[in-house]
Every structure is written in structure tokens, then in C-alpha cells.
Chain A
Amino acid sequence: MQDNTVSTHIKDFIWQHFPLARTRKIVDTDHLLEKGILDSLGILEVVMFIEHEFQIILNDDDLMPENFQSICSIAAFVQRRCHDSSAH
């Protein structure tokens, strides 16, 4: 999957499920935790979406704040994980 497709998918999801992201017009590099878009429960929703949408199972080690900082970092993380699983 193309990088920009992944981040568009994630952005669509976040804009749709976190209405504040839409009103604040969150861009790919905005800090989602600091801007109050995501909280603990929000991250759970994002995790469920990623697992379903990209057919990857997240390990415990994947749940690091740095992987969920922004749409960019979520997309980069998903790319990395998709790449890892296809390499096996």
C-alpha cells in the first residue's frame, strides 16, 4: 500500500471518529495527544481500526506513545509493521 494511501485512511478515520480533529482541521503532523484529540480510550479505538483495516495484529511492544503521536507517526508505524509481516 502506498504511504499516502495509508495516511489518508488513518486521517479519514480520525476525522470521522474524533470530531474535534475535523473542527480543528488536524494535519498529518499535529500532535494528537497534546492537542487533546486522543486519550486512552481514543487510542484503543485507533488500535482496533488499524488491526481491522490493515489486517495486522499489534504486539504489546507496538503500543508506545511515539507510535501514536500524529497521523504521520501512526502511518509510518503501520507501514513498518505491514512491511515486517510481508517480509516473513
Chain B
Amino acid sequence: MDFLIHHMLRTSAIRFPEKEALVHGEQRLTYSAVASQVAGLACGLREAGLQRGDRLGIYLDPSIPQVLSIFGVAQAGGVLVPINHLLFPGQVAHIAQDCRMKGLITTTAKLATLEKVLPDIPSLEFVVVLQDTETPDVALPVHSFEAFCQGAPLCSWREVSIEKDLAAILYTSGSTGKPKGVMLSHAQVIAGSSIVSTYLEITAAERILAVLPFSFDAGMNQLMTAFQHGGTLVLINFVFAREVVQVLLQERITGLAGVPTFWSLLAQPSSYLQQHQLPHLRYITNTGGAMPQPVLATLRRLLPTTKIFLMYGLTEAFRSTYLPPEELEHRPTSMGKAIPNTEILVVNDEGQLCRPGEIGELVHRGPTVSMGYWGQPALTAQVLRQHPFLPPELGSDEKVCYSGDLVKMDEEGFLYFVGRRDTMIKSSGFRISPTEVEAVLFQSGRIRGAAVIGIPDEVLGQAVKAFVVPREGEVLMPETLLAFCAEKMPRYMVPKALEVLEALPKTPSGKPDYPALRRREGY
């Protein structure tokens, strides 16, 4: 039985030692090679000082070493903290400080960009770097990733974790403040993998293309489902959608997951998708926002034999609903029903179950409800609460996840997304906190007021728009302020539009009136 994340790799390596596990460009690794390198890495990490429950950051581009690190950290008994490669030093430092990171796996080049923030991470005791021409110049013990992977695993290996232990922290944004770390146990990650593979009917024959980052719950889930069943995971770095189509063909990909923006790119004529047939592409899944209807129509036309699964999930509960492909024809705008072994409730402001058609908050109950936010008990208590309807005789303290997403259910139990309860923005699959963007705008020292909202965008889902009030006497050029932002945060967070106002509309309590700003934009 597989209790821990790396057990899935171990089992697949026993069942299919010579089968292709990972492919990235010209590199191909079998399950036995992956298992042996992961075992070496786990030993190396323990020798470097990693102990049960220590947090280890993985700050790498999508690559084979990134996958080896995920399983290596788990096997060593550590907690893996995948850091999106698009993040800037300031955000990486926040994550490292917040989770009191003990070690970091990265490249020399990436480590060099972190030089200025490293002194702000006192918990960091060692780094593991990938082979490079240059040796990093840091005041910490530096270990070689390759040397660890090639090391002989100890025969006296002792497992230190149990399935209830924290396995991963995935950082994500909410409506306020800096990104928060969602904690997932081994059991939760494995439950997510088992549930998703049940309805996607994943088998060892699968060849899954990973375009989503592993720092994103759906991306990590793809990796886990592939390894759980002994399938093959193909990695890709791409700029043009046609590169994706080429890999779909060359690697005979059977499964592909993406966010709406990715599908918009793939549905462009320049992807060449329309010139090819992809009979081996068994399924595609969308998550991270609603797929635009024209894009969905194009994909259905171009991929007539591929099953399209529309999925919904939030990191706090890992995965929640999906629309079975056979329902796509009748209700293409629905987010479907609960995933297997999961219950979805729609609860109104009075705390009662909603009637069909009534708008309420989506509440998730099941084995993938996370352990909450790392180091944030108050925030956790807002999102993970007691089940509202269990008989008191059970004496249960089971927590369900209040998603903050407003939905309604039709007579047949299918769910439809209505909007967010709060001001959180979702752009190209990323969750963006308005206050985090506002904080960066304030750092410029040129403004005395800022409010950031999301406005509908065909490709991005939502685009970030900022309203700012200059300081007295300040003549503000929007380009200058945006250029300042571009140095401080990744492109997906930088406002697409910035408008200078004399004053912000305020609520009676003196906070920016976000609904008024959205109305001002016509939404």
C-alpha cells in the first residue's frame, strides 16, 4: 500500500522498472533510474542536515531535476515547497521566510539572483545546486545536486514519515496580503491523485504532457497521477503553442491539463492544431478558471475524439468538481459535480443549504481538504470550519473548506460559477491578491492611494487594473510606475492598465470601494 508520496514512485519502479517515467527533450529516464536517483538525493539531503518535517524549497524551471527533487524531499522525510520559476527574489524570500526554509534546491544562476535576499532568510542552512560552469558565491554550505543523485542509497534506510505528516506547502494568494502556504499531507496528495485518476481513468498506458507548474495544485496532481499508475510524464518549455502541438504528436501524448489562457493559445490558428489529427490524445482537462466558450467550441471541433473535462478546484481543497465529458453538449458552462469521494454543499449567508438556483458559497467536504495555511491559524479558521450539518452526536471535529466562491446548483445538481465572495483576482490561472499589488505600488513612494481590481479579459480570464492617487505635487507617469512594478513582481501580477485618479471611491469605513471601481469599468 502506498501511504507516502514517494511510495507511488517505489511501487511503479517495482512494477515497471524499464518503463519510461520522465521525458524532457532528449532526456529520457526509466522508473528504475528515477527511483535510484531519488533514493540518492534523499540520502544526500539527510546527510546535508534535513530532518523530518523540515521545509525544503525547490526553485527550478520545469525540468527532470525538479521532479526528482519533489520525490527526493518527500523520501527524505522533508516538506517540499515548490516555488514557481516565474517568481522574483522578493517573493521567493517571502516564501522562504514564511515557512522557515532549511534548504533550497536551485541553479547557480537562480541562486545569484537571490544574493541580496539570502541574508533575510536566517533559517536557510544549506543549498543544493545543479551543475553549472560557475560555483555559487554564498556563505552557506553548497551541495551538488548531481553528486547526491548519483550517490549510492543506504541499505539501512529508515522511513520517518506517516501519511498524516505534512508533505507539501503550496503558496497561493488570497484577497489580501502576501501569498499563504497551503499545507497538504501525504494522505491528501495521494487521495487527490487517486480520485482524479478514477474519473480520468488513468492507467500505465498514459503519456501525460505537463505544461502546468508543479507549484500549482493541478500541476502537482498531474505528476502524482502519472507516477501512481506507472505512466509517462513528458515535460516541456515552450513559447509558441505550435511547439506544444509538435510534442503532442511526437510523444503520442494521451493526456493534457491546462488553464484557460493555455487553451486560448492552443486554439489560435498558428498552433497548427487544425492541421493535425491527434487520435492518441485521450483527454484534456481545464482548470484555473472557466474556459471561454469560443475556445471550447474550437477545441471540440479540432479534437473530435478527445474527451474534454472541465474541472474546478482551489488549492485549499486540492480538487473539487468536474463536468463529465458527456455533459459538455448540454451544459458547457457548468463546473459539473463533486469529484468521487467528495461532497459539495452550497450554503447561503444564513448557513442553510441553498435551493436549486439560489446563489451560495461552495463548501467542500472530502479527503483532499487541506491542513490549512502554514503559520496562520486565524486565516485557517475562516476557511476550514466545522461541518455545518453533521449530527452533533457524532462529536466530529471534521473540517470542511469554505471556498469563497459563489455558485448555484441546478435542479439536477450541476454547479455553475457565479463569482468571488472577496476581491481576489484570477489571471491566466494565477491567484492575485489586490493588496499585494497595491503594496508594491506604494513602495514606489509616489502615491498616496491605490486600489487594484480584475477586469474581464478574453485570454487572461481577468486582467489586473490599478487605480492610483499621486502624492501631492507628484506628476505621475503611468509608464514609470508600471516599470517600477515590473522590477518587483512577475509579469502576470503587473497591472495591464493603470489609471490616475484624484481620489479613490471609499466605503463608509474608509476602505477602497472595489465594487464602485468595478462599476466604473462597467462590470
Residues of A in contact with B (beta carbons under 8 Å apart):
15-16, 18-20, 22-23, 33, 38-44, 58, 60, 63-65
Contact = CB atoms under 8 A, between A and B. Distances in A.
B472 interface: no
B406 to A, nearest CB: 28
Interface stretch (B3-11, B267-275, B412-420): B267-275
A33 B479 CA distance: 21
Nearest to B490: A36
Given A41-B428, A44-B459, A19 B479 contact: yes
13 contacts: A18-B491, A20-B487, A20-B491, A23-B484, A23-B487, A39-B491, A40-B241, A41-B459, A41-B460, A42-B491, A43-B239, A63-B240, A64-B240
Nearest to A61: B270
A41 to B, nearest CB: 7
A33 B240 CA distance: 11
B242 A41 contact: no
B240 A16 contact: no
B479 A63 contact: no
Interface in B467-491: 479, 482-487, 491
Contacts of A42: 491
B261 interface: yes
Q: Which of B460, B484, B491 has most A Cβ within 10 Å?
A: B491
Contacts of B268: 44
Contacts of B265: 40-41, 44
B242 A19 contact: no
Contacts of B261: 41
Given A16-B479, A60-B270, A40 B485 contact: no
A18 B494 CA distance: 10
A20 B487 CA distance: 6
Nearest to B495: A19
A43 B240 contact: yes
A63 B270 contact: yes
B240 A23 contact: no
A50 B484 CA distance: 26
B157 interface: no
Contacts of B428: 41
A87 to B, nearest CB: 23
B516 to A, nearest CB: 27
A23 B494 CA distance: 13
Contacts of B239: 33, 38-40, 43, 65
Interface in B211-258: 238-242
Given A44-B459, A60-B270, A63-B270, A20 B240 contact: no
Contact of A22 (B269, B270, B272, B483): B483
Contacts of A39: 239, 491
B238 A19 contact: no
Contacts of B479: 15-16, 19, 22
B482 to A, nearest CB: 4
Contact of A19 (B241, B460, B494): B494
A40 B242 contact: no
A29 B333 CA distance: 45
Contacts of B269: 60
B497 to A, nearest CB: 11
A41 B482 CA distance: 18
Contacts of A65: 239-240
Contacts of A23: 483-484, 486-487
A8 to B, nearest CB: 16
A16 B496 CA distance: 11
B459 A40 contact: no
Interface string B437-479: 0000000000000000000000110000000000000000001
B494 A40 contact: no
A37 to B, nearest CB: 9
Given A22-B483, A60-B242, A65-B240, 6 more contacts: A19-B484, A39-B239, A43-B239, A43-B240, A60-B272, A63-B240
A18 B486 CA distance: 8
Nearest to A68: B239
A68 to B, nearest CB: 8
A23 B88 CA distance: 15
Interface string B150-164: 000000000000000
B88 to A, nearest CB: 10
Nearest to A16: B479
Given A39-B491, A41-B428, A60-B272, A19 B485 contact: yes
B172 to A, nearest CB: 20
Contacts of A44: 265, 268, 459
A23 B270 CA distance: 31
Given A39-B239, A40-B240, A44-B268, A19 B482 contact: yes
Contacts of A41: 261, 265, 428, 459-460
Nearest to B272: A60
Interface centre among A18, A43, A44 (most CB of B within 10 A): A44
Contacts of B240: 40, 43, 63-65
Nearest to A15: B479
Contacts of B485: 19
Contacts of A19: 479, 482-486, 494
A42 B428 CA distance: 12
